[in-house]
Amino acid sequence: MKGLSPDRLLPTEPKALEIARRLYESVRDLPIISPHGHTDPQWYAENEAFPDPAQLFVIPDHYVLRMLVSQGIDLTELGVQRRDGGLTETDSRKVWQTFAENFHLFRATPSRMWLEHAFQEVFGWTKRLTAETAEEAYDHIAERLVQPDFKPRALFERFNIEVIATTESPLDDLKWHRAIRECDWRGRVVTAYRPDPVVDPEFEGFQQNIEHFGEITGEDTFSWQGYLNAHLARRAYFKSFGATSSDHGHPTARTENLSSAKAQELFQKALKGTCTVDEAEAFRGHMLTEMARMSLDDGLVLQIHPGSHRNHSNPVMDTFGRDKGFDIPTRTDYVKALKPLLDAYGLEKDLSIILFTLDETSYSRELAPLAGAYPTLKLGPAWWFHDSAEGMRRFREMTTETAGFYNTVGFNDDTRAFCSIPARHDVARRVDCAYLASLVTSGRLNEDEAYEVAYDLTYRLAKQAYRL
Amino acid sequence: MKGLSPDRLLPTEPKALEIARRLYESVRDLPIISPHGHTDPQWYAENEAFPDPAQLFVIPDHYVLRMLVSQGIDLTELGVQRRDGGLTETDSRKVWQTFAENFHLFRATPSRMWLEHAFQEVFGWTKRLTAETAEEAYDHIAERLVQPDFKPRALFERFNIEVIATTESPLDDLKWHRAIRECDWRGRVVTAYRPDPVVDPEFEGFQQNIEHFGEITGEDTFSWQGYLNAHLARRAYFKSFGATSSDHGHPTARTENLSSAKAQELFQKALKGTCTVDEAEAFRGHMLTEMARMSLDDGLVLQIHPGSHRNHSNPVMDTFGRDKGFDIPTRTDYVKALKPLLDAYGLEKDLSIILFTLDETSYSRELAPLAGAYPTLKLGPAWWFHDSAEGMRRFREMTTETAGFYNTVGFNDDTRAFCSIPARHDVARRVDCAYLASLVTSGRLNEDEAYEVAYDLTYRLAKQAYRL
Amino acid sequence: MKGLSPDRLLPTEPKALEIARRLYESVRDLPIISPHGHTDPQWYAENEAFPDPAQLFVIPDHYVLRMLVSQGIDLTELGVQRRDGGLTETDSRKVWQTFAENFHLFRATPSRMWLEHAFQEVFGWTKRLTAETAEEAYDHIAERLVQPDFKPRALFERFNIEVIATTESPLDDLKWHRAIRECDWRGRVVTAYRPDPVVDPEFEGFQQNIEHFGEITGEDTFSWQGYLNAHLARRAYFKSFGATSSDHGHPTARTENLSSAKAQELFQKALKGTCTVDEAEAFRGHMLTEMARMSLDDGLVLQIHPGSHRNHSNPVMDTFGRDKGFDIPTRTDYVKALKPLLDAYGLEKDLSIILFTLDETSYSRELAPLAGAYPTLKLGPAWWFHDSAEGMRRFREMTTETAGFYNTVGFNDDTRAFCSIPARHDVARRVDCAYLASLVTSGRLNEDEAYEVAYDLTYRLAKQAYRL
């Protein structure tokens, strides 16, 4: 590797390249707005050094794990803990070596670009990672990790993050957010309200979660009104820690707007663990409408992330637990699914609902037409598997003509891989500028407008849509 | 705005651009064949001036309305009538000002290109529309609208329209078509037979429609045979006003080929309003097969346009009525759905069925394979939300390799926005020439053949497929 | 035609073109690995001359037939036999003339490129095929077909085929494969195990097939264990003729992992012909899991090719039989469908399952995420209707970012059109090199790596994945 190409992801054709370069130049150094992600607030609260390269780049990254597993490497060889406490690799250098030996597997994947960006731009290591260079890379990165400039807060500042959101359960006490607020560091870290553990009757330990939900709010969460009050209370608590959004990761986009009697009936079944599959889905769907109702009062932005079949492999789930790279997207309907919620609140100008999808077929067929009509709806960026150069390009090509730019919300990184954040935002800026340049060269947009749109997509829309 | 780029939508790469320019030059000035659209025949019959810029470009255009609504502007602010007669903006200048202030929302949408094309090419106004230029643009256009050169017939001739089809219900008396035929203007305006009000048991007022259908045909439309006879009679009547096609906008592509007894049973239920949802769909599906049977005799081309969830928002439908930009595409199956009709008549060489879709996933998976095998089937162009530069490109890229060019039918504009017609056909010509140029530069088509195909796609195939 | 462009399917932009040319140069002349196809082993065994141009290029090619039929030409005019023995064209020159007169229908289709490649590269005929040149072309090709250099074995060698697989039923005695093995020709032709006739309860003559299956294996195939033993025996027999894979063409990707009791129950129903549609599908689905179990022992690679609605037209099937171009792809789910098999064996490193699809929407949504996680799964190349320049490009663009290159298996031609084999592999090599060049110019891959990947995609991965 001679290092990252300065024109990567920009067009090859010289005329388009010139325009794309100018556009990119204009947004490259804008602050990062990260309104949706999964970094750990403990990092910012404690500001401890990250332990080592393998624990930073390999073991917690389900993108990296799944690709290595797909080629026959065991999760135990990669240092992933077994639930039964069985043997797993504990030598981070060995894990790193396995990773480096298989680095070619990541060719042309976004992980490759994020990793190399981090190696080069964050750690100043510009060689290619191979079996031969593995040890040198490990030492290079490990040496830096212990330095003050590589601690979480220093990186946060170096990454030019203006604001970052984490995601917490209503049952979380937000102690790390409290610690951040009470320390003298001024980085802006906010939480987001992710109530899956207390709105999904199929969530592990639902009944106990509801009980705990009552304890921390002082509400009788086994009554319907007490349960709703507990949400109101926790949402207010989360808002006091900067939350501007809630986040909902249901298997489908189904919504319901049930009568209070029907909702209560489902809730009582959920508490008894007697919901059918369909009733559990109806209950989750109804809770989206309840959340929208609450948002009309407290202003939290509602994010809907449907369509992942989580933990698809039973043996992997049984042995290693959740989030090991075996979440698989499924076909997702939005048109029928969202109608109950939209009939109730779709025209409310004070409500903001951000939709994500893992089913790209819905971009032009369903999501752009919906967001291009309903004032409440906005489209989140290309998500997860589609958070990639081709994925972002498809998102723009398939949504812009119907929804325009202003029914989208800019980029978010959705990551727990801290060092990949600048890389991910950089990819989005480049792909958007390449797309805008293609509009300019093909006479679909004037260049002066393209600068404005580039700024909006990079910075303004995310702040506006997430009310940050 | 310095005006529209002369090379808009053509390739950027110089070699491909040269070829595309030559191809486009060869078809740019061909007459417009508009075999499927929704302009109002009254315009041509009466030849009155269009009232004002807002009533021409904003209030009747559901593409424009929905985008403005999606960003929080009320339909009442845009001059749309409420069904309850409640207050709505009546000052066209204010509506225009709102539109102009939000013109940036249309960046990179086809509406933007159509509007600017009309402003520039039809009205000679070449500045960008903004809050500041709104009044000047309004005055500029309004002044011209009252001039004879801007009346419907003059524009029709200036647009170089060789023939245009409108769409009417069987219950329409075609008086405007009669007036056109009886006047001394020679523009060719034909009707098309759109029987949804009398074949869809779920259509508003179905029973009264059937009664009315009987009155105007003298048939006993409450008997199955009389009902079919009424169709035959009205089809003949429509043909006498130039109709060469029928048009069917069902929610799905389902067809049925029921026994006469079963069809009669469903028809009697439909008349009593007792069809289940499934029975109503079966009846509509069977009527497609009946229409195909009639087409074998009278030669009308059968158009099937499925897959729109019409009037998705109950509140918008309740307050403002149909066609306000809230029609949302749905996933659409063709393979099972068309089988009954195709088993009955799919191999008939004298029958022509043109398929449209709002579900782009069906292009390469279902539609191109079907049209690339059955002699009756042809593919209509990229439709509605996909009547756009990217949409047309995807249509060609996803259908040509399997269906070729000669199982497609050229372009149609499908619009009620009269001044957008030249713009829409121009976009299609440009996108097709760009696509053909890419085939030439990549060695997939010889340039001499590309000229022939460009001519076919622009002019010949539409005339041939629609028997015009 | 001035002959095929040497740069066909490579990028137009000069910088990308240069890189693509170099990459293509490096793989152009590599031997052909053809691990999945449908050529007739009798050709290689007997080495008789192919009869004439129409019988070589038109009559057996369902891609060619369907396109001509789609434009109103009867299968009888094309020399296709009727099942009732009715009249059909028997003059190959007339069939060829009809084909040539309609050759423009194939513009921009892969068939056009394959045919012209074969005309030029195999037969040295470089003019364009038209009504006027038809006879000359016929004579030119016919003259060569009788020469020794144009017999199957000579062409096999000239095509530089290192190994080719055919596909046979378990009921086939493999006599042609035996003849090939016993002759002194050294071309490597292997079989593949395609058990549809004895695993699909809906297959024509299923019960008789099972009986025959017992006769040739000496097993009691009307008992469950005897039936499974018969598979084991035939698989071993096929292996002795070089088979390294089995192949399964079910309507859907459904798998089941039933209890032995339940499987036996379904098997007994299948033998009695009393399976419901769902039970037949469950039985087929369970047999995929049984095949996987056997593969763990005997090492055959399992290929799953779901999603074709075979013989969609009843009249065409009734009059002409199977495989006449009326197989239509359908929407296909993999996520739920494969779960039973994957929960059973998805993590087995010694099992290799290759997935194909006709539903391109599954590339990025389902197949790449599945293959990018499960060690058993690999993705077969763009298949059938998608074995085309645009289809291959979409395959790479929609799978690489998630599954990488190393969860794909290179190209296979899947064809019975012998003379198209070099053309098809050439198209794949060109499209892959064009794609790789675009990765290099956009800074996503280094050029030295691109050479390695080009080699892998062209040669190494097919050999490795199919264990050839």
For A289-320, write each residue's pLDDT tens digit. Answer: 999 999 999 999 999 999 999 999 999 999 99
pLDDT at B2: 62
DSSP 3-state of A161: strand
In chain C the first and final C-alpha atoms are separated, in Å, by 39
**Dihedral angle of Cα B141, B145, B146, B147, to the nearest 10 degrees:** 100
Q: Which CATH superfamily is domain A50-150 in?
A: uronate isomerase, domain 2, chain A (1.10.2020.10)
- Assign domain A14-48+160-465 one CATH number from 3.30.565.10, 1.10.3720.10, 3.20.20.140, 2.60.120.560: 3.20.20.140
Alpha-carbon distance of A144 to A140, in angstroms, equals 7
pLDDT, tens digit, for every residue of A203-237? 989 999 999 999 999 999 999 999 999 999 999 99
Q: B117-174: per-residue pLDDT in tens?
A: 999 999 999 999 999 999 999 999 999 999 999 999 999 999 999 999 999 999 999 9
Nearest to B386 among A364, A441, A446 (CB): A364
Counting every residue written for chain B, the total comes to 468
pLDDT tens-digit readout, B358-381: 999 999 999 999 999 999 999 999
DSSP C380: P
Kindly state the average pLDDT of the residues C87-100: 97
> Which pLDDT belongs to residue B146?
97
Beta bridge partners, C302, equal: C246, C353
Which pLDDT score is estimated for B299?
98
Question: What integer is the mean pLDDT of C170-187?
Answer: 97
Does B307 have pLDDT greater than 90? Answer: yes
Q: What is the pLDDT of residue A2?
A: 62
Size of chain C, expressed as the number of residues it contains: 468
In CATH terms, the fold of domain B49-150 is uronate isomerase, domain 2, chain A (1.10.2020)
What's the average model confidence in pLDDT over A60-70?
97
Query: Is C389's CB within 8 Å of B444's CB?
Result: yes
B410 pLDDT above the threshold of 80: yes
The predicted-structure confidence for C223-241, as pLDDT tens digits, reads as follows 999 999 999 999 999 999 9
C355: helix, strand or coil: strand
Identify which of C60, C74, C3 has the alpha carbon closest to the alpha carbon of residue C418.
Answer: C60
Mean pLDDT (whole number) for C117-140: 97
Q: Give the model's pLDDT for residue A274.
A: 96
pLDDT tens by residue, A164-180: 999 999 999 999 999 99
Residue with the two structure tokens 């790449």: C368
Q: Which residues of B touch C129 (CB under 8 A)?
A: none
Q: What is the pLDDT of residue C57?
A: 98
Range A260-265, long-range pairs (CB < 8 A, 24+ positions): A260/A224, A263/A224, A263/A290, A264/A224
Neighbours of chain A (3+ CB pairs under 8 A): B, C
DSSP three-state, residue A437: helix
Residue B257: pLDDT over 50: yes
Which residues does B173 contact at the CB level (< 8 Å), separation at least 6?
Answer: B216
pLDDT band at residue C3 under the 50/70/90 scheme: confident
Comparing CA positions, the residue from C438, C436, C11, C441 lying closest to residue A5 is C441
C197-213 per-position pLDDT tens digit: 999 999 989 999 999 99
Question: Which tokens go with A314?
Answer: 């039973």
Q: pLDDT of B313-325, one tens digit each?
A: 999 999 999 999 9
Average pLDDT over residues B94-100: 98
**pLDDT at position C433, please?**
98
What pLDDT, on the 0 to 100 scale, is given for residue A1? 47
- Considering only CB atoms, which chain C residues are within 8 Å of A71? 375, 406-407
User: How far C343 CA lies from chain A's nearest CA (Å)?
Assistant: 6
Structure tokens at C188: 């490597």
Q: Chains near B, with 3+ CB pairs < 8 A?
A: A, C
Say if residue C1's pLDDT is above 60. Answer: no
Q: Measured between CA atoms, how close is B226 to chain C, in angstroms? A: 31
| Average pLDDT of span B107-111 | 98
Q: What is the pLDDT of residues C396-416, one digit of tens each?
A: 999 999 999 999 999 999 999
Task: Work out the average pLDDT over C305-322.
Answer: 96
Closest CA to C165 of C388, C421, C371, C355: C421
Residues of A with Cβ-Cβ distance to C406 under 8 angstroms: 71, 104-105
CB C91 within 8 A of CB C77: no
Which residue, A234, A245, A248, A244, is CA-closest to A174? A234
- Predicted confidence at residue A3, as pLDDT, reads 82
From residue B466, give the alpha-carbon distance in Å to each of A454, B34, B409: 44, 10, 8
Residue A27 has pLDDT above 60, yes or no: yes
A178 in Cβ contact with A252 (< 8 Å): no
> Cα–Cα distance between B185 and B437 in angstroms, integer?
40
Residue C313's pLDDT is: 98
Give the distance, in angstroms, between the CA of residue B409 and the centroid of all CA atoms in the same chain.
13
User: B375-408: buried (b, 16+ CB within 10 Å) or exposed (e) per residue?
Assistant: bbbbbbbbbbbbbbbbbbbbbbbbbbbbbbbbbb
pLDDT score of B1: 46
Q: What is the pLDDT of residues C28-62, one digit of tens each?
A: 999 999 999 999 999 999 999 999 999 999 999 99
Residue-averaged pLDDT of chain B: 97
Asked if A404 contacts A410 with a C-beta cutoff of 8 angstroms, the reply is no
CA distance C187 to C178: 13
Best residue in B68, B390, B395, B441 to probe A by mutation, most A CBs within 10 Å? B390
Could A439 and B108 be called an inter-chain contact, meaning their C-beta atoms sit closer than 8 Å?
yes
Q: Which amino acid is at C25?
A: E
Give the tens place of pLDDT for each residue, C354-408.
999 999 999 999 999 999 999 999 999 999 999 999 999 999 999 999 999 999 9
Superfamily of domain B14-48+151-465: Metal-dependent hydrolases (3.20.20.140)
Tokens matching residue C336: 């739920």
**Which H or E run includes A162?**
strand A161-165
By CB neighbour count within 10 A (0-12 exposed, 13-18 middle, 19+ buried), where does B29 fall? exposed
Whether the per-residue pLDDT at A283 is higher than 50: the answer is: yes
Query: For C278-345, what is the HEC assignment?
Result: HHHHHHHHHHHHHHHHHHHHHCCEEEECCCEECCCCHHHHHHHCCCCCCCEECCCCCCCCCHHHHHHH
Which residue does chain C place closest to A358, by CA atoms? C365
- Compute the nearest-CA separation of C282 from chain A (Å): 20
CB contact under 8 A, A66 and C373: yes
Domain locations in chain A? 14-48+160-465, 50-150
* Cα separation, C255 vs C285, whole angstroms: 4
3-state secondary structure chain B: CCCCCCCCCCCCCHHHHHHHHHHHHHHCCCCEEECCCCCCHHHHHHCCCCCCHHHHHCCCCHHHHHHHHHCCCCHHHHCCCCCCCCCCCCCHHHHHHHHHHCHHHHCCCHHHHHHHHHHHHHCCCCCCCCCCCHHHHHHHHHHHHCCHHHCHHHHHHHCCEEEEECCECCCCCCHHHHHHHHCCCCCCEECCECCHHHHCCCCCCHHHHHHHHHHHHCCCCCCHHHHHHHHHHHHHHHHHCCCCEEEECCCCCCCCCCCHHHHHHHHHHHHHCCCCHHHHHHHHHHHHHHHHHHHHHHCCEEEECCCEECCCCHHHHHHHCCCCCCCEECCCCCCCCCHHHHHHHCCCCCCCEEECCCCCHHHHHHHHHHHCCCCCEEECCCCHHHCCHHHHHHHHHHHHHHHCCCCECCCCCCCCCHHHHHHHHHHHHHHHHHHHHHHHHCCCCCHHHHHHHHHHHHHHHHHHHCCC
B309 and A335 Cβ atoms separated by less than 8 Å: yes
Say which CATH topology domain C14-48+156-465 has: TIM Barrel (3.20.20)
* Closest alpha carbon within chain C to A112: C444
Give residues with Cβ within 8 angstroms of B272, minimum separation 6.
none
Q: Is the pLDDT of residue C64 over 80?
A: yes
Mean residue pLDDT of chain A comes to 97
| Nearest in space to C63 (alpha carbons), one of C1, C128, C112, C122 | C112
Q: A335 vs B358: CB contact, 8 Å cut-off?
A: no
d(C-alpha C52, C-alpha C62), whole Å: 17
Average pLDDT over residues A260-277: 97
Token couple for A222 = 């086994």
How confident is the model over C153-168, as pLDDT tens digits?
A: 999 999 999 999 999 9
- Rounded Cα gap, residues B432 and B449, in angstroms: 14
Q: What is the pLDDT of residue A8?
A: 98
Between CA A411 and CA A420, with CA A415 as vertex, the angle to 5 degrees is 85
